[in-house]
Amino acid sequence: MNTRAKGLAGERRAEAFLVQRGYQVLARNFRTRRGEVDLIVANPARLAFVEVKNWDALGQDSLGQAIGAAKQRRIIEVARSYLSRHPRPERPAFDVILLRGDEVLHLENAFDGVA
């Protein structure tokens, strides 16, 4: 499986994982000129911008390597753009889903929206 196909398969797994936990998918692969975010999801309590990564080593310590500061800033800019077009009352959360084999690690509030 090539890298792109692996990425899309991972995003679909992450989406199914979130839907099973009561989230509604608002957007997939939302792009602006500043960047892209894999999933935008919401449940009655929260709105989350989600980055999905296939990762060899799952763990909180993997986060900095998987989603660096520059990528975080781009995701925050994409979130601002989305919210300017689709206002929501909830404060946005920034989650990361790390996938390895059959394992799924959902890191809620992986980083804050201050850039």
Side-chain-side CA neighbours of residue 112 (13 Å): 2
Residue 110: what pLDDT? 92
The Cα–Cα gap between 96 and 63 comes to 8
CATH top-level class of 3-111? alpha beta
The Cα–Cα gap between 76 and 103 comes to 26
Among 27, 11, 29, 115, smallest CA distance to 72 is for 115
Domain layout of the chain by residue ranges: 3-111
Q: How confident is the model at residue 100 (pLDDT cuts 50, 70, 90)?
A: confident
Question: Tokens for 92?
Answer: 């946005």
The Cα–Cα gap between 73 and 70 comes to 5
The whole-model pTM stands at 0.90
